[in-house]
């Protein structure tokens, strides 16, 4: 195993384990039940915070769902918010595989404004009480894909297929980078997280391998590379570890914000 890719290998393992966890129900295992909207793992309730927030706006939030959402929120606050996107989300896992096909086909890379996802998140929260049901639920590719894996519902894969077609034919990683309201929620949460990618300017040779490797786009690393900050402070950082894996000088590492503050955080 290439030691320079240890985080990528570990992330792939976690992605496979998540898919295996969802599929386990089809084979009769009982330690896990549910999907990524709401589930139970070894008796511990878990719930998607955005789904829970929509039900809260409707006044229909059950106690176990609230507890599950708080547990998940606390977990991803500690580990960086969008860690969910790169390590757990099955839509991102499929999108990463599709990205390799895009590269092989030599398709052009058109971009959308990353800020659009915050507008989508706002619309979801605005429309939910107006419509009287969770506005994002029927279109949620994360929840629907996890339902398809957990319960063998092939029809639930339609949102995922639409996302993949959109990212293949129109905008590279357009959904994950620019439109997903779940990603927007976790980006806001990650901004407050103590777990970050740290940067050592004295070890950097400015090869920009990290910027080329970042699945969220080169601008995510502007804090260290352009503004010479000691942390990757961009909200879209998914803590995927790709930049750490490819850095030949180990100038990038995982760390804790309380120990090393970037200039803008002082």
- How would DSSP label each residue in 111-153? ---TTHHHHHHHHHHHHHHHHTS-TTGGG-HHHHHHHHHHH--
Question: Tell me, what's the pLDDT at 110?
Answer: 86
Q: How confident is the model at residue 4 (pLDDT cuts 50, 70, 90)?
A: low
Region 255-259: mean pLDDT is 79
Binned at pLDDT 50, 70 and 90, residue 5 comes out as confident
What is the mean pLDDT of the segment spanning 110-136? 95
For the chain, the structural domain boundaries read: 3-188, 197-265
Lowest mean pLDDT among 72-76, 108-112, 163-167, 231-235: 108-112
pLDDT score, position 111: 84
Task: Tell me what percent of the residues of the chain surpass a pLDDT of 70.
Answer: 95
Q: Residue 162: how many CA atoms within 13 Å on its side-chain side?
A: 12
Q: Which fold has domain 197-265?
A: Alpha-Beta Plaits (3.30.70)
Inform me whether the pLDDT recorded for 263 exceeds 60: no
Q: How far apart are CA 55 and CA 62, in angstroms?
A: 9
Q: What is the mean pLDDT of the segment spanning 80-103? A: 94
**What average pLDDT does the segment 236-264 reach?**
84
Confidence of residue 218 (pLDDT cuts 50, 70, 90): confident
- Determine the distance from the C-alpha atom of residue 121 to the mean position of all C-alpha atoms in its chain, rounded to a whole number: 15
Please give, one letter per residue, the 3-state secondary structure of 36-79: CCEEEECCEEEECHHHHHHHHHCCCCCHHHHHHHHHHHHHHHHH
Distance CA 77, CA 195 (A): 8
pLDDT digits (tens, 9 = 90+) for 194-210: 999 999 999 999 999 99
Tell me the pLDDT band of 2, cut-offs 50, 70 and 90: very low
């Amino acid at each position: 195993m290439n030691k320079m890719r240890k985080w990528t290998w570990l992330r792939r393992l976690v992605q496979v384990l998540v898919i295996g966890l969802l599929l386990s129900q089809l084979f009769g295992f009982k330690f896990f039940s549910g999907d990524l909207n709401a589930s139970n793992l070894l008796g511990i309730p878990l719930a998607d915070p955005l789904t829970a927030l929509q039900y809260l706006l409707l006044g229909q939030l059950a106690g176990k769902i609230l507890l599950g959402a708080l547990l998940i929120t606390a977990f991803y606050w500690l580990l960086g918010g969008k860690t969910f996107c790169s390590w757990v989300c099955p839509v991102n896992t499929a999108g990463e595989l599709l990205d390799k096909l895009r590269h092989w086909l030599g398709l052009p890379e058109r971009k959308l404004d990353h800020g659009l996802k915050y507008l989508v998140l706002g619309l979801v929260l605005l429309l939910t009480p107006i419509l009287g049901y969770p506005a994002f639920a029927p279109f949620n590719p994360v929840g629907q894909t996890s339902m398809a894996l957990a319960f063998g519902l092939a029809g639930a894969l339609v949102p995922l297929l639409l996302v993949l077609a959109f990212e293949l034919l129109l905008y590279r990683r357009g959904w994950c980078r620019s439109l997903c309201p779940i990603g927007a929620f976790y980006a806001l949460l990650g901004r407050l997280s103590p777990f970050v990618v740290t940067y050592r300017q004295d070890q950097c040779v400015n090869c920009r391998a990290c910027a080329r490797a970042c699945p969220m786009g080169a601008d995510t690393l502007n804090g260290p590379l352009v503004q010479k900050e000691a942390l990757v402070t961009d909200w879209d950082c998914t803590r995927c570890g790709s930049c750490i894996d490819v850095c030949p000088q180990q100038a990038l590492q995982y760390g804790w914000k309380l120990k090393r503050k970037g200039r803008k955080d002082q």
